[in-house]
Amino acid sequence: MRGRAVESHSQGDLTGSAFVIGAAVLWGSLGIAARAATDAGISLHVASWWRAALATIGFSVLCVTIDRRLLRVRRRDLPLLAAYGFFSIALFYVAYFTAIERSSLATAAILLYTGPGWVLVLSAIFLGESWTRRKGVALALAFAGCALVARAYDFDALRSDRLGIAAGLAAGLFYGAYSIFAKRALRTYAALTVVTYGVFFGAIFLVPLGLAAGTPAAAYLLPASWQAWGPILYLALVATVGASGMYVSALTRIEAGRASILATIEPVVAAAFGLAFFREQLDAWQIVGGLLVLGAGWTITSWPRRAPANDP
């Protein structure tokens, strides 16, 4: 019996790890689909809106399939979920797609992984969490790596790619902000409920953001060309709903820390796709910077912590 239990546990670990890797590969492919959509005549604001709108439908179907009660939320929690949708969906989608459009896929993905560093700063400011040596080391690694990825040592390159770098850092900030909202929302609701309402409110906020940027209102009714439907459906249903579903399923099989470490292959995948499809390359110092950013994530999730005495 013990042997069977060990074998079953091992199989669950392998399945969970495979799900995380699969999700990371899908997230790493976001840049290809985003560029395909823009090449088909879709602005990044409209592509972001379609991604959020169709993902809302996909996540809602999952909720109804699993348990209809997942769609129930209290009215007093709607402002929190709306704030999550504004910062961690609407602003994040626009910032990340801008980074992909203005820089390489690898650079955008690596800058996105400054998210854990931003979480340390935001949690200290808004949640009153204590500052530790582990957090300081992780933050130093994250932003030293960013400086190298952004080629701070090459002033001409830095000057020419300022918008892409700023957008990538902003994407990391808004991605990290998810933890601030989730800290409270996940005490009451399942992760699927939170992300469903997040993309729903994100889709709502993306419209005025796009209109303010000069996107015509008619652009939100239908994509500019039928060629755009393929990348849009991929962005929403495969790289968002499918990837998130795989990652959530993985968390039922392996611990969150291990999952988050495995997910850091996303920038590597994005770099591989950038090289294969767009002949994008990173220089040696940018690769070192990417490793430092990933090292920051590993430091946060794997450094041993002393549990409090009353921790169950």
Q: How far is CA 279 from the centre of its chain?
A: 24
pLDDT single digits (tens) 196-220: 999 999 999 999 999 998 888 888 8
In angstroms, the CA 177 to CA 172 distance is 9
In angstroms, the CA 216 to CA 202 distance is 19
DSSP result, 34-88: HHHHHHTT--HHHHHHHHHHHHHHHHHHHHHHH-GGGG---GGGHHHHHHHIIII
Q: Let me know: does 107 contact 272? Beta carbons within 8 Å.
A: no
pTM of the full predicted structure?
0.82
In angstroms, the CA 149 to CA 167 distance is 14
Give the burial class of 68: count Cβ atoms within 10 A of its Cβ; 0-12 exposed, 13-18 middle, 19 or more buried. Answer: exposed
pLDDT single digits (tens) 217-260: 888 877 667 788 899 999 999 999 999 888 888 878 887 667 77
In angstroms, the CA 149 to CA 284 distance is 10
For residue 3, give both structure tokens.
């042997």
Residues of the chain with pLDDT under 70: 1-12, 127, 155-160, 223-224, 256-257, 300-312
Reported as type and span, the H/E element at residue 193 is helix 191-212
Q: Is 114 in a helix, a strand, or coil?
A: coil
Question: Which one-letter amino acid corresponds to residue 131?
Answer: W
Determine the straight-line distance between the first and last CA of the chain, rounded to whole angstroms: 28
